[in-house]
């Protein structure tokens, strides 16, 4: 069985600072994918970034990067130069295979609040 742990229920960060959201995972599958989703107060799920377990380089998407440390089973999300619009819930998730992601296991989320 797969498990995602997000140990930070809430975080407060000053605007323009970088922020790291923690995510650790547990799986016995040799191949898997890791995802981060953003859920603003309006409720929709917004895909941010994806990392395959066999990818050699850490994934980046604009201001988002995924700090993937396979030996430590961690997949932290780094947001550079935070903005007020980054205030939201953030969920880490994983899939059972490297590409196919029809079944996602989610963590409990971190509520990020950006302070002006």
Partner 1 sequence: NAGVTQTPKFQVLKTGQSMTLQCAQDMNHEYMSWYRQDPGMGLRLIHYSVGAGITDQGEVPNGYNVSRSTTEDFPLRLLSAAPSQTSVYFCASTWEQGGEQYFGPGTRLTVT
The footprint of partner 1 (CB under 8 A) covers: 4, 33, 35, 37, 43-45, 47, 50, 52, 91, 93, 99-109
**Residue nearer to partner 1 on the CB measure, 93 or 114:** 93
Nearer to partner 1, 69 or 108 (CB): 108
Rounded to a whole number of angstroms, the minimum distance from the CB of residue 14 to partner 1 is: 26
Return the exposure string of 21-58: e unless at least 16 CB atoms fall within 10 Å of the residue's CB, then b: bbbbbebeeeebbbbbbbeeeeeeeeebbbbbbeeeee
Tokens of 92: 């880490």
Q: Please report how close the Cβ of residue 78 comes to partner 1 at its closest, in angstroms.
A: 18
Residue 85 carries which DSSP code?
G
């Amino acid at each position: 069985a797969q498990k995602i742990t997000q140990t930070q229920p809430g975080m407060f960060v000053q605007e323009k600072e970088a922020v790291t959201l923690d995510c650790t995972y547990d799986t016995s599958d040799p191949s898997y994918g890791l995802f981060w989703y953003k859920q603003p107060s309006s409720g929709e799920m917004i895909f941010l970034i994806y990392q395959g377990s066999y990818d050699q380089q850490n994934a980046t998407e604009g201001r988002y990067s995924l700090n993937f440390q396979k030996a430590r089973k961690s997949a932290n999300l780094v947001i550079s130069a935070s903005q007020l619009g980054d205030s939201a819930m953030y969920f880490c998730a994983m899939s059972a295979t490297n590409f196919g992601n029809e079944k996602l296991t989610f963590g409990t989320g971190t509520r990020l609040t950006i302070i002006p």
